[in-house]
Copies of this chain bind each other. A is one copy, B any other.
Amino acid sequence: MNRLVIKFGGSSVATIDKIKAVAKVIIDRKKDYEQIVVVVSAMGKTTNGLIQMANDLSAYPAEREMDMLLATGEMVSASLLSIYLQSIGEKSVALTGFQAGFETIGSHQVSKISNVITDRLIKELNDGKIVVVTGFQGMNENGDFTTLGRGGSDTSAVAIAAVLKARCEILTDVNGIYTVDPRIRKTAKKIDYISYQETMEMANLGAKVIEPRSVEMALRYDVPLFIGLNTGDLNGTNIIKEEDIVEQNIITNISNKNDVLLVKIFKKGSNEFGISEALKQLAQNDINIDMINRIVEENEVSYKITTNLVSKNKTKQVLDEMGLDCEFKENLSKVSIIGSAMRNQVGVAARAFDILSKESVPFYEVSTSEISISYLVDESKSNKLVNAFADEFNL
C-alpha cells in the first residue's frame, strides 16, 4: 500500500484561505499515493493565545488541564480542514489524537507516545477517506488528554508514518534545510539530501526546521522523511540514511541558537554540594539543560550549565530552594558546525579554532559530539562567526 503522511504546521493552516490552499496540495498528492493521512498543528498563534489565558489565571497552570486546553487548538484546525475537504467532494474524517490511537506515557505537557493503535486509522483509510489527525496530542491510561511538547506535531506525523509504513512530508514555510540559516547568510544553499543523524544534530543544536525527536523516530523506524514548502513543491530536502548519500561535504551545516543562558552554580563557602540532585531538580521542573562543565578555580568548585533564557526565573527559584547560589550570563549564542564526515576527517576542530582566533571571537564554552563542534559566544558576534565558518567550509 502506497501511503503518505503530510504534516502542516500552524502557519500553514493559520487562516481560512491557507486551509483551502493546503487542501489543494493534499488532493494533488492523491495522484501519487493511494492513502493519505494529514497531521495538522493549531492555527497560527492559537496555542500561544491559549497559554496566555491560562497564565492570566495562574502562575503555574495545572498541567493536566493545560493539556486539555491546548488539545483544542489542533481539534479546531483538523475539523476545519476535514470540513473543507468534504465540502469540495473529498471523503475525509478528522480524528483527535486519541481517536487516531495515540497512547502516551509520562508527564502531562511532555508526554511520550507509547503506542499507536491503528485500527481506526486503517479502517478510515480503507474507506477511502483522507484522514486528518490532530498533531501534538494523545491520551494517557487515565483517559486524559496529553500533549507531546511544543513541536510535537512532527513527532505525531512520523509516528503515524512509522506504523503505516508511509513516507512522511513535513510541509512548512521554508523549502527545506539550508547549509546556514538564510537570514544570516544570503548565499546559503538548500541541502537536497542529508542524513538523519546530521538533521538530529542540527535540530538539537538550534535549527528550528524540525523536532529532533521526530527525526530520531524516523531513523529508528526507517521512515523516508521530506521537508519542503507547503505549496507542495517537491524540490525540498530529503532526510535519508547516511550510507545512501552519494556526495558528502565534510561539513553539512552551520547552526546558530540564540537566547542561550549560561548559569554558574556554586555554594558560597562550600565545595561540596549535590550537583546531581540540582540537575535532577532542574530537569523535573522541565528546565532543559544543554552544556555542563565542572570548573575548579582557586580551590572553588562550581558548575556551568546552559539552558534557555526563558527558564531563568524558574532556574533561580529551583536553585534558591536548594540553598545553592547562581550567577547568570545572558545574550549568548551557540554556534555549531555539523557534518557526518567529521568522523573520518581530522583537522576540522583545528580549522574551526583557527577561525575563532582570526575573527577575534571569544568563546565561553565548547562542546563536541561525533559529528559536531559547538561554541558558546556573544550573541552580537554569532552572525559574523557563522559566516566565517560558512566561508571556511564552502557552505
Q: Which residues on A are within 8 Å of B, measured CB to CB?
A: 16, 19-20, 50, 53-54, 56-62, 64-66, 68-69, 71-72, 75-76, 78-80, 82-84, 86-87, 92-94, 96, 99, 120, 143-145
Contacts and interface: CB of A to CB of B under 8 A. Distances in A.
A122 B93 CA distance: 34
A361 to B, nearest CB: 45
The oligomer's copy count stands at 2
B87 A57 contact: yes
B57 A16 contact: yes
A61 to B, nearest CB: 5
Interface of A is mostly: helix
B69 A54 contact: no
Given A57-B80, A143-B99, A144-B99, A86 B72 contact: no
A240 to B, nearest CB: 36
B60 A69 contact: no
Contact of A50 (B68, B76, B99): B76
Contact of A68 (B61, B75, B92): B75
Contacts of A69: 75-76, 79-80, 83
Contacts of A86: 58, 62, 65
A76 to B, nearest CB: 5
Contact of A64 (B16, B65, B93, B144): B93
Nearest to A20: B57
B94 A65 contact: yes
Contacts of A60: 87
A57 B86 CA distance: 10
A19 B57 CA distance: 9
A158 B101 CA distance: 32
Contacts of A56: 16
